[in-house]
Structure 1
Amino acid sequence: MRAVRCEGAGGPEVLGIGEVADPSPGPGEVLVRVRAAGVNRADLLQRQGHYPPPPGAPETLGLECSGTVAAVGAGVHGWQPGQDCVALLAGGGYAELVGVPAGQLITPPPGVDLVTAGGLVEVAATVVSNLDHAGVGAGATVLVHGGAGGIGSFAVQYARALGCRVLTTAGSADKLAYCLDLGADEAFDYHADWPAAVRAAAPGGVDAVLDVMGASYLTDNVSVLAADGHLLVIGMQGGRRGELDLGALLARRASVSALALRSRPVEQKSAICARVGEVVWPMLADGRVRPAHETRFPLEQAAEAHALLESGRSHGKIVLVV
């Protein structure tokens, strides 16, 4: 089969298309013929050599895909060849075929075409699992960093659909307008003094911060938390190491969580996928959440897709089409 291969670690130029051996489904697994694969920040980190796949996962990039069941392994029930599906992956999505534990497959959301569906499940699983962990519900105030990105575009809408007040950050006037169109109550330019703007908008603090930046935002994120608030770190675009003021954390009775999705056991990821199908797909069906703005590239142009994501010029989701 064809797959995107990394010729060493480095920039987008290390990506190329090549032939690799076809996978076969083991016990409890489903073989998926890929229609589309979402491009995520974690893929950039893996390409750069900073985020190796978990033991046993494919070396090929790609943490989510859509497609059609090609074959099923021993012990799999409820799936058969020819069925459309979306899948949460530990790797392998940038290819024509990928093997997936059966629990990490769900039917595509109703009314969403299969290519668009290829960029939905990883962002939904990330956001849902984090906001569930923090116990976020109606009446909470949530700050979403990078609200115009793939995860942010979904998180703004999902938190709004839960009945939350949603604040967000973005880096340009058109992206701020995009966030407001998605349903954010207020959007702040992260090049300016966003912590002051957040404190002015929410004098009592925010109940949860969904953060893609990591180290560079650590102090400011803690400073805007409400009592019993939660800082949910899901990315490290601003570095891995920061200084944490434990006194500030204690004063707020707050928590800092870093909940990686990729390394979770299959049982946990299967439960999260089931949760996505239960709570998110109905929101897509009735319009409370809509798919993000989408940029499509053919699989052969994975390098161009990575370059666009790294440039910061894109908004919404980037998807590779097989």
Structure 2
Amino acid sequence: MRAAVCVRAGGPEVLELREIPVPGERAGWSLVRVRGAGLNRSELRTRQGHSPAVVFPRVLGIECVGTVVASGELAPGTTVAAVMGELGRAFDGGYAEYALIPDALLMPVTTTLPWEVLAALPETYLTAQGALDALGALDAVGIEPGGRLLIRGGTSSVGLAAASIAAGHGLEVTATTRRPDKADGLRAAGVDHVLIDDPALDDGVPLPCTPDYVLDLVGARTTVDSLRLVRRGGTVCVAGSLSGWTIAGFEPIAAIPSGTKLTAFHSDDLKGATAVLQRIVDAVETGTYRPNLDRVFALDDIVAAHRYMEDDEATGKIIVVP
């Protein structure tokens, strides 16, 4: 089979298209014919050498969608998605024509969506859904109609998904971007107010309203600023690391206003969440949520796809199809 193999740490050119054996059968695992794989910045960091637990060569790809070829649990031909659980890290992932995946990670779904659209949903929308649940933002819709959400890093694929979900549930959504040319993409995803964030909103950029919730996908660089921006007693959820992993000199008592809540969400918490993913797929099919698909690359063009991601050209999800 054809696979994009990361042969060592480095730039996009270390992803080499190779012919490798189709994985053999293994108890508790299923062979999946990959129909599409979403690209994620965590794969970019792994490729760059920032995931010390990953041993090269490795087929990257922390998510994929496709059809079951052989399984002890699912019928051949079943449409499935898989995310996280060390996929593309401890074992080969979605940048290939076939992937051998633990049954516990497989999420069978019923859908008529095209493969490239379905491939844009699992990691992105499950993360967005989980982060909004961690904020309590969706629960508040029935209690406080018109709840206000600020998304930091809005033009990331997760940011666009969160905007689509929040808008679908009636929240007033504000989102930030460093790229004025991406403002229209945010509005199309359901964002009510677009703010240019350069480098942070403490530089005099006025907020249209004080948010009840802040979903911070930028991470380390903006977390303390987000705690200042949310209403007293509101909640900030950090669910991204676009600016890195750690906050230097963080002093919780000084940085967190009294009564304000700081939480986090990791997408690994929703691996295998079949029912949640099916609801998301159904909402995309009915037009309630947007898939926010930016561009589709062939597997042969994986180097160009990673370069496109690294250059921050996308407004939405980048998909690779074998």
| TM-score interval, normalised by the smaller of the two chains | 0.7 to 0.9
1:35-92 deviation digits (Å, cap 9, x = unpaired): 111101111011011135689xx9421111121111103xx2xx21122222224220
Structure 1: how far apart are the matches of 2:43 and 2:275?
A: 24
What runs of 5+ residues in structure 1 fail to find an aligned partner? none
**2:49 paired with 1:43:** no
The more displaced of 152-161 and 169-178 is 169-178
Structure 2: how far apart are the matches of 1:217 and 1:173?
A: 19
Structure 2: how far apart are the matches of 1:136 and 1:220?
A: 20
Alignment RMSD, CA only? 2.4
Distance 1:52 1:281, change over 3 A: farther
Structure 1: how far apart are the matches of 2:130 and 2:53?
A: 20
Structure 1: how far apart are the matches of 2:256 and 2:199?
A: 28
**2:177 paired with 1:176:** no
Asked if the contact 2:82/2:271 (under 8 Å) is kept, the reply is no
Structure 2: how far apart are the matches of 1:287 and 1:131?
A: 20
**2:77 paired with 1:82:** yes
Residue in structure 1 matching 2:271, options 269, 272, 279:
269
Structure 1: how far apart are the matches of 2:266 and 2:13?
A: 27
Asked if the contact 1:228/1:255 (under 8 Å) is kept, the reply is yes
Residue in structure 1 matching 2:226, options 221, 228, 231:
221
**2:312 paired with 1:312:** yes
The corresponding residue for 1:186 is 193
Structure 2: how far apart are the matches of 1:46 and 1:130?
A: 23
**2:208 paired with 1:236:** no
Structure 2: how far apart are the matches of 1:193 and 1:62?
A: 31
Structure 2: how far apart are the matches of 1:162 and 1:248?
A: 34
Asked if the contact 2:294/2:314 (under 8 Å) is kept, the reply is no
Q: Secondary structure at the match of 1:13?
A: helix
Structure 2: how far apart are the matches of 1:199 and 1:252?
A: 23
Structure 2: how far apart are the matches of 1:80 and 1:157?
A: 33
Structure 1: how far apart are the matches of 2:205 and 2:25?
A: 49
Structure 1: how far apart are the matches of 2:201 and 2:47?
A: 31
Number of residue pairs aligned between Structure 1 and Structure 2: 308
Asked if the contact 2:118/2:281 (under 8 Å) is kept, the reply is no
User: Equivalent residues in 2 for 1:1-322 (5 A)?
Assistant: 1-52=1-52, 59-73=58-72, 76=73, 79-89=74-84, 90-91=87-88, 92-108=93-109, 110-137=111-138, 138=141, 139-191=146-198, 194-195=201-202, 200-203=207-210, 206-242=211-247, 243-262=249-268, 264=269, 269-270=271-272, 272-278=273-279, 280-322=280-322
Structure 2: how far apart are the matches of 1:110 and 1:220?
A: 41
Distance 1:117 1:134, change over 3 A: same
Q: Secondary structure at the match of 2:45?
A: helix
Structure 2: how far apart are the matches of 1:207 and 1:24?
A: 51
Structure 1: how far apart are the matches of 2:8 and 2:207?
A: 47
TM-score, structure 2 as length reference: 0.86
Distance 1:290 1:118, change over 3 A: same
Structure 1: how far apart are the matches of 2:77 and 2:285?
A: 23
Percent of aligned pairs sharing the same letter: 32
1:225-248 deviation digits (Å, cap 9, x = unpaired): 223333222222212232334235
Asked if the contact 1:125/1:273 (under 8 Å) is kept, the reply is no
Structure 1: how far apart are the matches of 2:213 and 2:311?
A: 28
Q: Secondary structure at the match of 2:233?
A: strand
Q: What's the offset of the Cα at 1:249?
A: 4.8
Distance 1:30 1:130, change over 3 A: same
The structure with the largest helix share of the pair is 1
